[in-house]
């Protein structure tokens, strides 16, 4: 048998190897996040931001009785909100 052969039945792998692998993966992930956020790698992993269309706002009106501002559609024909209309 070669000298580098290890019988895993009698000598299981060390848990330190797993810890080292996890630390290496964590370090690679941290470097990736730092480079991606900087100007060094601006295009990697990022989608171009689309310009948002302007939000549409409903016209507001004031209840004639209580003075609460509501969307114009929510007022009755008499200009009152649902609470004051009752």
pLDDT along the chain (86 residues), means of 10: 65 79 94 75 59 80 89 86 79
- For 73, residues 6+ apart whose C-beta sits below 8 A from its C-beta are 58
C-alpha 81/C-alpha 68 separation (Å) is: 8
Statement: the pTM of the whole predicted model exceeds 0.85: no
C-alpha 16/C-alpha 21 separation (Å) is: 9
**38 and 49 Cβ atoms separated by less than 8 Å:** no
Q: Mark residue 67 as left, alpha or beta (left: phi above 0; alpha: psi -120 to 50; beta: remaining).
A: left
Q: How far is CA 46 from CA 29, 39, 59, in A?
A: 16, 12, 37
């Amino acid at each position: 048998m070669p000298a580098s052969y290890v019988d895993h039945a009698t000598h299981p792998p060390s848990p330190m190897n797993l810890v080292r692998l996890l630390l290496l993966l964590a370090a690679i992930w941290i470097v990736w996040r730092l480079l991606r956020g900087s100007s060094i790698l601006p295009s990697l992993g990022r989608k171009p931001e689309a310009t948002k269309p302007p939000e549409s706002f409903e016209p507001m009106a004031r209840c004639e009785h209580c003075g609460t501002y509501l969307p114009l559609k929510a007022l009755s024909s008499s200009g009152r909100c649902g609470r004051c209309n009752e």
